[in-house]
Amino acid sequence: MEKDDNPQPPVNHYDDGTASVLRRTTNYRHLRFYHRSDVLYQLTQSFCKRYFKKWGDRTVDQMVQAARSSKQNIVEGSEDGRASMEMEIKLLNVAKASNCELLEDYLDYLKHCGFDIWTAGHPRYAAMLEFCRRHYLYEDYKDLFTKLGAEEMANMALCLAHQVDKALASYIERKDREFTTEGGIRERMTAARLGQRETQRQTIERQQRTIAALQQEVALLKNKLKSLGLD
C-alpha cells in the first residue's frame, strides 16, 4: 500500500456522528508540571510576604506575577488547545518563559543575601530533590511554608522551577511534533468537512441499498400474490 503524503488529521465526532473540528486535549489538572507550578505560585506568595517586606513592591509584584503567569498560561494553553494547537504552543512557551524568569529571581535573591545555592554535592540537595520528585501537590507543601527558612524556601523553589522547566520543554516538543503531523485548525476544519461528507455519502448509500432491497421484496410479494390469483 502506498504511503499517503498528505494524511488527513484525525477527526473527532459527537455522539450523533457529527464531525468536530475541536481536538481532544489533556486536562491540565492531570499534568504534574501544572501542579508544581501551582506549588511555586503559592510558595512565592508566602516567600515574598515573609522576606521581601523591606524590598518594596516592585520585586514582590514581579515574582508573584511571574509565578502566576506560568500557572495560568498552562491552564489557558490547555483550554485553547481544543481549538488551536498554535495558541496552545504559544501559551505554553509563555508559561516556560515566566517560570524561567521566576527561577532567575530566586537565584538573584540567594546571591544577594549570600546564601548557598544547593546543587549536587551540597549536603541538603539530594534530600530536597527527592522530596520534590515524589511530591507535586500543594497539600504536600503548604505546611512547610511557615517552617522553612529563606534559604530553604528559595532553594526548594529553584528545584521546583527546574522540574517545571524540564517538563514544559518536553511537553512543548511533543505538541510541536503533533502540530507538524496534524496541522492546525484549518486542516482540521477541512478534514471534518470531508469526513462529514463521507459520512453523509455512506448514509445515503446505505439508505439506497435498503430501498432497493425493500423494492425487491415488494416485487417478490406481488409475484407471489399473482401466482395465487390474489392480485
Band (pLDDT 50/70/90 cuts) for residue 7 is very low
Q: 173: which residues sit within 8 A by CB, 6+ positions away? A: none
Q: What are the two backbone dihedrals, phi and then psi, of residue 13, each rounded to the nearest 5 degrees?
A: -135, 150
Q: Which residues pair with 13 in a beta bridge?
A: 19
pLDDT confidence of residue 67? 97
Residue 42: per-residue pLDDT: 97
Domain locations along the chain = 20-182, 184-231
**Res. 170: pLDDT tops 90:** yes
What number is the average pLDDT over the span 125-148? 96
pLDDT classification of 172: cutoffs 50, 70, 90? very high
Q: What percent of the chain has pLDDT over 70?
A: 77
Per-residue pLDDT at 219 exceeds 70 = yes
Q: Who wins on pLDDT, 227 or 140? A: 140
Average of per-residue pLDDT across 60-78: 95
Q: Residue 220: what pLDDT?
A: 77
Residue 17 pLDDT exceeds 80: no
36 to each of 71, 129, 207, how far by Cα in Å?
9, 13, 55
Q: 154 and 110 in contact (C-beta within 8 Å)?
A: yes
C-alpha cell at 136: 507535586
Residue of 6 and 38 predicted with greater confidence = 38
Query: What single string gives the DSSP state of each residue in 172-214?
Result: HHHHHHHHHHH--HHHHHHHHHHHHHHHHHHHHHHHHHHHHHH
pLDDT at 4: 39
CA-to-CA dists, residue 37 to 23, 90, 131, 176, 218, angstroms: 24, 17, 16, 21, 70
User: How does DSSP assign 36-97, residue by residue?
Assistant: HHHHHHHHHHHHHHHH-GGG-HHHHHHHHHHHHHHHHHHHHHHHHTTT-HHHHHHHHHHHHH
- Would the pLDDT of 21 be above 60? no
The whole-number average pLDDT for the span 184-212 is 59
What is the pLDDT averaged over residues 119-137?
96
Which amino acid appears at position 41 of this protein? Y
Q: Is the pLDDT of residue 184 over 60?
A: no
How many angstroms separate the CA atoms of 61 and 49, rounded?
A: 11
**pLDDT: which is higher, 223 or 125:** 125
Helix (H, G, I), strand (E, B) or coil at 101: helix
Mean pLDDT of the chain: 83
State residue 5's pLDDT score.
45
Write down the pLDDT at residue 81: 80
Residue with cell 507538524: 180
CB 43 within 8 A of CB 141: yes
Higher pLDDT among residues 5 and 43, named by residue:
43
43, 145 Cβ separation under 8 angstroms: yes
For 181, residues 6+ apart whose C-beta sits below 8 A from its C-beta are: 7, 9
**Mean pLDDT of the 169-185 span:** 83
Nearest-angstrom CA–CA distance, 11 and 27? 19
- Burial (CB count <10 Å: 0-12, 13-18, 19+), residue 59: middle
